[in-house]
Chains A and B, each alone.
Chain A
Amino acid sequence: MKKAEFWAAGLVVAACLAPFAAGRYWLDVAFMAAVYAGVASAWNVAAGFSGTFSFGHGLFFGIGAYTSAMLFSALGISPWIGLAAGAALAGAAGAAIGWLGTRYRVGGLSFAVLTLAFAEVALLFVSTFDPLGASRGISIAPPQPPGLLSMQFESAAGFFLVALGFLALCQAVAWAIDAAPLGYRYRAVRENETAAQAMGVSPALVRMSAMAATGALTAAGGSIYGFYLLFVEPRTFFGPDVTIKVILFALVGGIGTVWGPVVGTALLYPAGEWLRAVFGGRVPGLDILVYGSLVIGCCLAFPTGIVGGVGRRLAARAGRGGGAGGRTAG
């Protein structure tokens, strides 16, 4: 296992450094990949760890982007403070939805549809509410002077580093929850709510905390993306696109694992961009066809996700060798 960890660490460092060498275009791709990876990981904390599925992460992404954009545009408040405020607001929204779901016993897929409903209502509201720019959105005047404090950079490398920081935060939260007693509570509720309750685990607290964590992290990603584009608009942020993408990334990479969503995003997102660059101009839609086939192929080859599948195989091999296989609990 030591060897595998060594290679994994090497791969992570290479993946972080490669975009710097590959130039502007790939730095932009890497920035988006890091934002998506963080959001996918945040989605996985609720859905993968605790079984609290959300189809409405656009709600959180949008709250984050709009809160920081409005605070900066209207009051000149630093994007970083706006990011924190957006995260707090989205976290509260997540906890409220989690509470509603438990209170009215809306579980599983019905809960996912409930989150989608909230996101769609928010999308309609923002699209028609004039003080938030309605469907025109809000253009953000670039904060001055460029630098880390103003979250503005002359090169794409700066944005990529901020996105990497965001991803590191998401991974730290996911890892901490997974390893802590809280992670056992999450998994207990995911696996069997009745048994979890009998063991004194409160599904309400699990759902609320999971939705708060995923909401806050997703909102931070939204803020960063908003200040990268310097433009926020209802459909890009509140729309279902982000959610669909991150669910796909997480599923392919391995739902319920700490690193699955990141691995899934790191493979699929750049692949999708590359396919678009190669096929996009020639035969319309061909890149999407190939991309779809790639996703289906991944799902067939690794039904439990790439990380889940590979992890299981490594564990089985270690088990046969006489050592302790898999995750040793506790």
Chain B
Amino acid sequence: MLLEARAIDAGYGKVPVLHGVALGVAAGECVAILGPNNAGKSTLLKVLSGLVGVWRGNLQFEGADITPDGPSERVRRGLIQVPEGRHVFPDLTVAENLIVGGLRLGSHRARRARLERVYDSFKPLYELRHRPAGMLSGGEQQLVAIARGLMAEPRVLMLDEPSLGLSPVAVDLVFGTLLGLKQESLTMIVVEQNVQFCFDLASRGYVLRQGRVVSQVEAMEHLTADALRQAYLG
């Protein structure tokens, strides 16, 4: 396993959210985290990226224990999160947004080279590169957030609700982009409410409910409507 969470308890302040969550992601696979609202999906991603601390249990990444690492160290290791709700830097241009993503890379030259490559796979963003990101449409902003994550040359890219609040056309655009990344064997963890979206993208999945993993879906194509109803409605 490239990334492994073992028996994780976590929460905010004194409020517990996750109870004994275990999860593993192998190199090159795309894993979905499914579940109803308040299941703890976003919290789990934040635990993986270090934005929420672990109460109990531990996290392994490439054989190293990363439990005590803060978000900066994890980004340095290549564990990159694309936060929920299209968190772009609104007054910075698209290009500047992407440069922030590339800060992990050692040199200016490395950042420029990476920027060229990211523009190659995100052609629409190249056209918009001098625009403030806050002036783009929702779908374009989500693309900026994903591209910014890719600028960091991620070992694992973690996406929190990439289709949230997007128009159907924009959802297709984001979906197509992620599918392309999957074909390039980028390791991804996707949190999604949109089951269809995950269905077509992920190879495996974990279903979370009330902070616990209630079922594991070993192959997404075997996920039946009944199992899904069971997972969401209990």
For the complex, give the distance between the alpha carbons of A141 and B18 in Å: 67
B76 x A200 contact (CB < 8 A): yes
B99 x A330 contact (CB < 8 A): yes
* Chain A residues within 8 Å of B115, by CB: 330
The answer to whether A188 and B89 touch (CB under 8 A), given A194-B83, A197-B51, A325-B130, is yes
* Chain B residues within 8 Å of A201, by CB: 72, 100, 103
Q: Which of A18-26, A146-154, A179-187, A233-241 contacts B (4 or more CB under 8 A)?
A: A179-187
Min CB–CB distance A322 → chain B (angstroms): 13
Pick the contact of A192 from B88, B104, B112 — CB < 8 Å? B88
B87 an interface residue at 8 Å Cβ cutoff?
yes
A319 an interface residue at 8 Å Cβ cutoff?
yes
For the complex, give the distance between the alpha carbons of A4 and B72 in Å: 40
* Chain B residues within 8 Å of A319, by CB: 130
A184 x B100 contact (CB < 8 A): yes
| Number of residues of chain B lying within 8 A (CB) of chain A | 37
* Chain B residues within 8 Å of A185, by CB: 100, 103
Contact with A along B54-76 (1 / 0, CB 8 A): 00000000000000001110111
Q: Please name the residue on chain A nearest to B76 by beta carbon.
A: A200
A327 an interface residue at 8 Å Cβ cutoff?
yes
A200 x B93 contact (CB < 8 A): no
* Chain A residues within 8 Å of B104, by CB: 200
| Number of residues of chain A lying within 8 A (CB) of chain B | 24
For the complex, give the distance between the alpha carbons of A72 and B101 in Å: 48
For the complex, give the distance between the alpha carbons of A329 and B100 in Å: 10
* Chain B residues within 8 Å of A325, by CB: 130
A191 x B81 contact (CB < 8 A): no
For the complex, give the distance between the alpha carbons of A187 and B132 in Å: 13
B103 x A195 contact (CB < 8 A): no
For the complex, give the distance between the alpha carbons of A329 and B89 in Å: 14
Residues 169 to 199 of chain A near chain B (Cβ within 8 Å): 181, 184-185, 187-188, 191-192, 194-199
Pick the contact of B89 from A181, A191, A202 — CB < 8 Å? A191
The answer to whether A199 and B92 touch (CB under 8 A), given A181-B103, A188-B100, A194-B83, is no
For the complex, give the distance between the alpha carbons of A61 and B93 in Å: 35
B87 x A192 contact (CB < 8 A): yes
Min CB–CB distance B135 → chain A (angstroms): 13
For the complex, give the distance between the alpha carbons of A328 and B152 in Å: 20
Instruction: Name the residue among A181, A188, A191 with the largest chain B CB count within 10 angstroms.
Output: A191
Residues 185 to 232 of chain A near chain B (Cβ within 8 Å): 185, 187-188, 191-192, 194-202
Min CB–CB distance A48 → chain B (angstroms): 11
For the complex, give the distance between the alpha carbons of A192 and B80 in Å: 16
For the complex, give the distance between the alpha carbons of A196 and B99 in Å: 12
B209 an interface residue at 8 Å Cβ cutoff?
no
A184 x B103 contact (CB < 8 A): yes
* Chain B residues within 8 Å of A12, by CB: none
* Chain A residues within 8 Å of B70, by CB: 202
B117 an interface residue at 8 Å Cβ cutoff?
no
Instruction: Name the residue among A187, A199, A329 with the largest chain B CB count within 10 angstroms.
Output: A199
Pick the contact of A195 from B89, B91, B111, B130 — CB < 8 Å? B89
A191 x B91 contact (CB < 8 A): yes
Pick the contact of B90 from A181, A184, A192, A199 — CB < 8 Å? A192
- Which of A's residues lie within 8 Å of B, judged by CB? 181, 184-185, 187-188, 191-192, 194-202, 319, 324-330
**Which 5 residue pairs across A and B have the least CB separation, nearest first?**
A200-B75, A191-B89, A195-B87, A329-B95, A329-B96
- Which of B's residues lie within 8 Å of A, judged by CB? 49, 51, 70-72, 74-76, 80-83, 87-93, 95-96, 98-101, 103-104, 108, 111-112, 115, 129-130, 145, 148-149, 152
A sample of 8 more A-B contacts (CB under 8 A), given A198-B81, A326-B130, is: A184-B103, A192-B89, A195-B83, A198-B71, A198-B80, A198-B87, A200-B103, A200-B104
